[in-house]
């Protein structure tokens, strides 16, 4: 039965939830669920899991752009049909994994993937740079300060060798969010790319009456910079808001709540770089990432400044960190003043926390190292 717009509730099916994941298990996964003994990474992008029943499963991980066409999904299905009995899976970082149940089937799969014009780069395992968790950007969102797909492509092109190899001290997670809603993982990633504004919102008094719930816009401001106000539009007094510009830090929360307060600006908007976050509990506790570069311009289509900054941080980390040390652990061991020196990043007042609980982030000790930053 097709959908009948005159009777929208007729024959409506709802609240089914997702299909049960076991329906889509490859036979070898289903047979060995909960029985795995150990695993190894046989080469970058290829893992082997050994079961107590002596079964083996080989997993080949390939990168994707996350934003993909149905044509590409069909091609992924074709590959899964040809090599993996029609089974495949996506990872939590939007890589694709193909699984085969014997070693002989791995090489034909790798050859097939390699024959497809680098649409399916194999890698993303171990101590390398895997896929970048990212957001919508200018493709679909209305609050971004930068693009997502474009920046991610530019950065991954530059770091591609780190995707297909495992030469770093530990894995490096890079994430991008196009505004500080931080959809995704930027607040807890080794290197994070974040879209930021630098100008206050413009208030459109002509529209504000019909499209805005003013108390929400006022309550959305973390600094109390939005205040109720009155304005005159076409000879009529209306209720509106005004922004105390000196208090505004351009977060854009008020625009999220009120469409008549846009703040995107081509020159003002750009990218901040944060580093040192992680989510695992391995050796040290999870950490938030910290802001080290306050602003880089939106230089489309290749964002050269952003790409260069990330490469510089990654190379300094690769040179300086010990085995198993994540970016944040390295920075904390050598001291953040040394981190800025090693990465050749100028330290600015923008990195000094001044939001409510800021005091704890300042240095309350005489322990520090002299660096090139202290003149």
Binding site for another protein (CB under 8 A): 5-9, 181, 207, 209-216, 239, 256-259
35 vs 51: CA distance, rounded Å: 6
Name which of 4 and 167 has its Cβ closer to another protein. 4
Which residue's entry shows tokens 């989510």?
Answer: 279
Name which of 14 and 115 has its Cβ closer to another protein. 14
Q: Is residue 46 within 8 Å of residue 113, measured between CB atoms?
A: no
277 vs 305: CA distance, rounded Å: 22
Minimum distance of another protein from residue 328's CB (angstroms): 28
Q: What are phi and psi of 340, to 5 degrees?
A: -60, -40
64 vs 76: CA distance, rounded Å: 10
Name which of 26 and 144 has its Cβ closer to another protein. 144
Name which of 207 and 302 has its Cβ closer to another protein. 207
Q: Is residue 195 within 8 Å of residue 181, measured between CB atoms?
A: no
Which residue's entry shows tokens 């049960």?
Answer: 20
60-70 as b/e: b if 16+ CB within 10 A: bbbbbbbbeee
Name which of 74 and 227 has its Cβ closer to another protein. 227
Minimum distance of another protein from residue 262's CB (angstroms): 13
Radius of gyration for the alpha carbons in the chain, expressed in angstroms and rounded:
25
DSSP 102-142: SGGGHHHHHHHHHTSTTSS-B---SSSB-PPB---GGGT-S
34 vs 52: CA distance, rounded Å: 10
Q: What are phi and psi of 362, to 5 degrees?
A: -85, 170
Name which of 154 and 257 has its Cβ closer to another protein. 257
290 vs 275: CA distance, rounded Å: 5
Length of the chain: 375
Minimum distance of another protein from residue 135's CB (angstroms): 12
Tokens read off for 60: 């080949």
Q: What are phi and psi of 57, to 5 degrees?
A: -130, 130
Minimum distance of another protein from residue 14's CB (angstroms): 10
Name which of 125 and 253 has its Cβ closer to another protein. 253
Minimum distance of another protein from residue 214's CB (angstroms): 5
Q: Across-strand partners of 61?
A: 97
SS3 category, 212: coil
Q: Across-strand partners of 58?
A: 48, 100
Minimum distance of another protein from residue 181's CB (angstroms): 7
Name which of 213 and 353 has its Cβ closer to another protein. 213
Name which of 256 and 284 has its Cβ closer to another protein. 256
């Amino acid at each position: 039965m097709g959908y009948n717009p005159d009777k929208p509730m007729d024959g409506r099916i709802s609240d089914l939830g997702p299909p049960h994941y076991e329906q889509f298990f490859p036979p070898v996964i289903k047979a060995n669920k909960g029985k795995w003994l150990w695993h190894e990474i046989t080469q970058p992008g290829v893992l082997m899991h050994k079961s107590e029943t002596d079964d083996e499963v080989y997993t080949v991980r390939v990168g994707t752009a996350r934003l993909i066409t149905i044509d590409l999904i069909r091609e992924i299905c074709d590959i899964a049909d040809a090599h993996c009995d029609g089974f495949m899976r996506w990872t939590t970082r939007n890589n694709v994994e193909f699984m085969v149940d014997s070693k002989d089937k791995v090489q034909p799969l790798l050859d097939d993937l390699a024959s497809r014009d680098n649409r399916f780069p194999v890698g993303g395992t171990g101590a390398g740079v895997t896929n970048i968790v990212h957001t919508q950007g200018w493709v679909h969102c209305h609050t971004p300060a930068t693009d997502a797909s474009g920046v991610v492509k530019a950065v991954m092109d530059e770091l591609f060798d780190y995707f297909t190899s495992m030469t770093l001290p530990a894995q490096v997670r890079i994430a991008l969010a196009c505004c500080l809603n931080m959809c995704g993982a930027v607040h807890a990633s080794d290197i994070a790319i974040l879209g930021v504004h630098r100008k206050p919102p413009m208030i459109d008094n002509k529209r504000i009456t019909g499209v805005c719930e003013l108390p929400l816009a006022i309550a959305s401001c973390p600094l109390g910079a939005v205040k109720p106000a009155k304005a005159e539009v076409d000879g009529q007094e209306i209720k509106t808001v005004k922004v105390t510009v000196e208090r505004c830090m351009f977060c854009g929360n008020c625009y999220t709540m009120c469409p008549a307060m846009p703040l995107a600006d081509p020159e003002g908007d750009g990218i901040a770089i944060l580093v040192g976050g992680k989510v695992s509990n391995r050796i040290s506790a999870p950490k938030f990432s910290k802001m080290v570069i306050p602003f880089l311009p939106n230089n489309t289509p290749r964002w050269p400044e952003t790409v260069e900054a990330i490469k510089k941080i990654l190379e300094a980390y690769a040179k300086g960190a010990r085995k198993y040390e994540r970016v944040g652990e390295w920075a904390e061991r050598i001291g953040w003043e040394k981190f800025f020196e090693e990465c050749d990043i100028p330290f600015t007042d923008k990195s000094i926390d001044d939001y409510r609980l800021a005091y704890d982030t300042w240095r309350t000790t005489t322990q520090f190292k002299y660096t090139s930053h202290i003149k």
